[in-house]
């Protein structure tokens, strides 16, 4: 499936298990500065729900502000399990 933006292609390349719809939502949040809520698998294997903003791709990572931790955090793109919602800009 062709990607609409370079950001979509980058996200899809590292978050291989995400659906096309989820890839588009993550890429949109990166490109527009919107906040996004994702289900994330921590290195411990625990699933957490995180709302992220100020997303900056640094493949294979994603630098973002984590609202749960109220701090800058680094997320591994391949550990984003699903996208729950994109917050309006």
pLDDT 10s digits, 24-78: 999 999 999 999 999 999 999 999 999 999 999 999 999 999 999 999 999 999 9
H-state helical runs in the chain: 6-14, 20-32
Q: Name the pTM for this structure.
A: 0.91
pLDDT grade for 22, boundaries at 50, 70 and 90: very high
User: Where is pLDDT greater, at 86 or 51?
Assistant: 51
Q: What dihedral angle (degrees, nearest 10) is formed by the CA atoms of 2, 53, 51, 10?
A: 20
- CATH architecture observed for domain 6-86: Roll (2.30)
User: Where is pLDDT greater, at 88 or 58?
Assistant: 58
Domain map (residue ranges) of the chain: 6-86
Token couple for 38: 């994702």
Q: What are phi and psi of 5, to 5 degrees?
A: -135, 160
Residues 6+ apart with CB under 8 A from 53: 33, 34, 35, 36, 64, 65, 67, 87
């Amino acid at each position: 499936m062709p990607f609409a933006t370079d950001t979509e292609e980058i996200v899809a390349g590292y978050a291989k298990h995400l659906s096309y719809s989820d890839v588009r939502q993550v890429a949109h949040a990166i490109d527009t500065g919107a906040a996004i809520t994702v289900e994330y698998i921590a290195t411990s294997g625990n699933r957490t729900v995180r709302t992220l903003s100020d997303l900056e791709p640094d493949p294979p990572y994603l630098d973002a502000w984590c609202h749960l931790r109220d701090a800058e955090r680094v997320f591994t793109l391949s550990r984003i399990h699903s996208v729950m919602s994109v917050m309006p800009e």
